[in-house]
Structures are given as C-alpha cells and as structure tokens.
Homo-oligomer: A and B are copies of this chain.
C-alpha cells in the first residue's frame, strides 16, 4: 500500500488549484452540485440499498448535500471568507518606519477525508468535509466508508465528471477504498496536511493519536458524536408535557437514532418525571424498530443495551426488543441523578435510539450535573423564560460544555448556515475551535499567511490595493468593502 503517487499528484494539483480565482472554484462546485442532481435517480437507490435508510430521507440528504455545495460555492465566489487584512505602511513612523503587512487565509494542501456511515451523502464522498476542503483550495484524498462502497463510487464519479467539465486536474479528488490499514497509511503520509473524520470515538482518537505522532503533526478534525442532553424545567414540562414528549421521541428515534445530535440523555425534575415518562412511553409504543445502517452497528447497539441492563441503577421504561440482526429497537431507562453522577459510564454514547432519563431533585443537583457533564455537540434547555431568569449560573456552566445551546425544539436537524456551530468540547470533537457544518467549516483547511512589502503585482487579488475583488477587508482595524 503506497500512496506516494496519489499524494504527489494531489500536491501538484494543489499548487495549480489554490491560485485559481474563487469565482472558478465556485463554478466548479456549482457544476458538481448540478452533476449530483443530474444523477439523483442513480445515486438515491444505491444509498438506500447500502444504508437501509428510507428513500425520503436519502432524497432529502442529497438535497442537503447539493445545498451545502452551493453555500460553499457562493462563499468562495464572493471571496470575503479569506479574512483579508491590510495594515498599510507608514514610512514616516518614528523611531522605525512601518512596513506594509497584509494577511489572508491560504489553503493547507492535500487533506484526507473519511466518510461517515450515518450520512452516506451529506457527510461522505461529496459531503461537508470534502466540499469545504475543495472550497478552501485543498485537494481531497477521500477514504470511502466500507458501508456504502457503490454509493461512494458513484458520487466520486460525479466529482470527476465535474472536475473534467471544469478543466481541472483530476488529482483534485482521489477516491480510496480499503480498511483501517489504508486509512492509517493516508493519515501517516508525509504530504497530508489535515484530516477530517466523522464517526466513533475510538476511530477518531486513533487517527488523532496517529496524526500527533507523525514527524510533522497535522490537525485532525474528528467529530465523534455526543449524547446531546436535554435539560427540562418543571413549569415548561407541566405546561407542555405531551408536546415535549412527542418532540423528544421524534428526535430520539429519527433515523433509528443514528444522528450525531441524537438526544440520548434527558434531565427531568422529580415532580414531573412520572407524567412525562408516561407520555414518552405512550409515544414509544408506536415506534417500530427499523433497520440500522449495517449489522455491525446493530450489534454494537445491542451490546451496549445488554451492558446497561446489567446495571441495577437503571429502571427500564421500555426495553429493547430481542436482538434482531439489523433492526434497531428503541429503549428508554430511568435513573436517579445521584446514581447517574456516581459513574461516568452512564455518560457514554449509545449509538442508536436509546435514551437515559435522569430524574433530578433540586437545582443544586442540576448544577452538579452541569459541572460533571462531558463535552457535547449540543445541549438543549426546555424552560419557560421566567424559569431561566435565576439560572444564569447554570446556563454559564452549560455553555462550557457544548458547541450549540438550544432553547426550543430538538437538537437533530443541523442547519447549514453562517452561524451554525457543529463541534464542541472534547470528547464530542478533537477540535472545539472548529465546526464541521456551516460556513466556518472551510476554515479548518486554511491557515493565515502575512505578506510583508510584497510587490502589488505578486499579491493575491484579495490583498491588492483598490480591493479588486470587492470583498470585505479589515483595513487598519476597520472593515471596509
């Protein structure tokens, strides 16, 4: 397994591609979105077959995929994302004249992207990681997820069609199939400059450790999931018991619980626990088990459930149906906050439609919970506004523990926009200062460079006098266009 030729072609493609105007990079991405849409009729059945996800969901996911491609296309066509900053020279400054210094983001070079099993399109071959890397100016060496090889090949083929149509070097994107050894070899390759990954904690940390032990350590942007706790307050629950039970169960069981933002933990006040539990049990009755992504994931789900069933602290509101080869069956267990606090094992993510309902007795216990909570992608607070007025300290603590804090609705359904933050403190990711969804995802694959006294005709357009690209720039500390 030697990836030298792949990386050397990617590096060559990089030196050409990174200097293309943003407009051309954006047009290439638009062409890619069109190509994927044109191949919808072929892509969707493949992804349905390989993921066991329903056609409606996969159709939606393809729309989301092309939608985020268009977001990044527009961003790079517009161009302000490079954070152009100009500190003009001051030859008369005393005691020493001031040089002309201009700064912008520049792409890192070839990056390695790993596909995710739970989003065969939106977080896979032409998913957010690949697209934000291509948008920033980086070639992508893509390690296909073995759970959906045909889908991946088909999408890779669309990417190459778009590359060809745009007259770009084909090494801008390379599709690599294989297992763990291939993935490790890609991360270890000296020419790799960054890694993006969405998946399990074990997988993400293995890559993180590998990347840090390289002769040249490189950043690993691993999104490793979380349990996405929901904190319920008594008045809110009392006034909306059934609606919140429905919202919770809907979010818990969406896609058989196989979302990174799936709520696996809900904190409920003792006063409302029984009523809320009954409403949840009622909702759960109608949710049939459904096929999980692949048998290995179903096996892991039932193994986790079996382990938890051995713990006497848990009282089961709904037990999982007997293990089925592939179907995931919803399950819900209740635990006292004091017991939950006593063992960190109860914070471990169970990938699938399982949730733990933690019953708390006091606000002091809530604060204790917040202090002990692991880092999360999201935390949701269900409370009446009046209940929050005295909870500034708690909210403060919760902010420390998540990337996104919600006050309405459920954490599933990650909006692709400018303000989205999909990333949070460890262990939810290895890089809390980054997001893998939304506009800022592009910044993972770039770094700042400053040019000092560079001749005008050598400067990138983004930094030239007169702002020929018409982008937002910070000039002498002020934004202007």
Contacts and interface: CB of A to CB of B under 8 A. Distances in A.
B418 A452 contact: no
Interface in A438-464: 439-440, 443, 446-455, 457-458
Given A86-B419, A101-B419, A417-B87, A217 B407 contact: no
A479 B479 contact: yes
A432 B216 CA distance: 11
Interface stretch (A122-130, A177-185, A282-290, A388-396): A388-396
A433 B447 CA distance: 4
Interface string A414-445: 01011111010111001011010001100100
Contact of A407 (B86, B408, B452, B481): B452
Interface in A194-221: 208-209, 212, 216-219
Contact of A451 (B208, B388, B405, B458): B405
B395 A458 contact: yes
A1 interface: no
The range of chain A's interface size is: 35 or more
Contacts of A278: none
A455 B421 contact: no
A453 B378 CA distance: 13
A407 B219 CA distance: 30
Nearest to A451: B405
Contacts of A432: 108, 447
A209 B209 CA distance: 10
Interface string A1-36: 000000000000001001100000000000000000
Given A406-B453, A435-B448, A479-B472, A102 B430 contact: no
A393 B14 CA distance: 12
Nearest to A408: B453
A108 B375 CA distance: 12
A98 B98 CA distance: 48
B451 A440 contact: no
A103 interface: yes
Contacts of A216: 375, 425-427
Contact of A450 (B87, B109, B405, B430): B405
Nearest to A209: B212
B409 A453 contact: yes
A472 B80 CA distance: 14
Contact of A433 (B98, B219, B439, B453): B219
| A86, A219, A426, A432 pick with most chain B CB within 10 angstroms | A432
Nearest to A16: B396
Contacts of A446: 433
Interface string A369-406: 00000010000000001001000110111011011111
Contacts of A479: 80, 472, 479, 481
A63 to B, nearest CB: 10
A373 to B, nearest CB: 13
A406 B452 contact: yes
Contacts of A418: 85, 87, 103, 474, 476-477
Contacts of A451: 404-405, 407
A330 interface: no
Interface of A: 15, 18-19, 80, 85-87, 96, 98-99, 101-103, 106, 108-109, 208-209, 212, 216-219, 375, 385, 388, 392-393, 395-397, 399-400, 402-409, 413, 415, 417-421, 423, 425-427, 430, 432-433, 435, 439-440, 443, 446-455, 457-458, 472, 474, 476-477, 479, 481
12 contacts: A85-B418, A101-B415, A101-B420, A216-B425, A216-B427, A392-B458, A395-B458, A404-B450, A408-B453, A420-B450, A479-B479, A479-B481
Given A103-B421, A403-B448, 20 more contacts: A87-B415, A87-B418, A98-B415, A99-B409, A103-B419, A103-B420, A103-B440, A108-B432, A212-B212, A216-B375, A218-B426, A392-B458, A405-B450, A407-B452, A407-B453, A418-B477, A432-B447, A435-B448, A440-B448, A472-B479
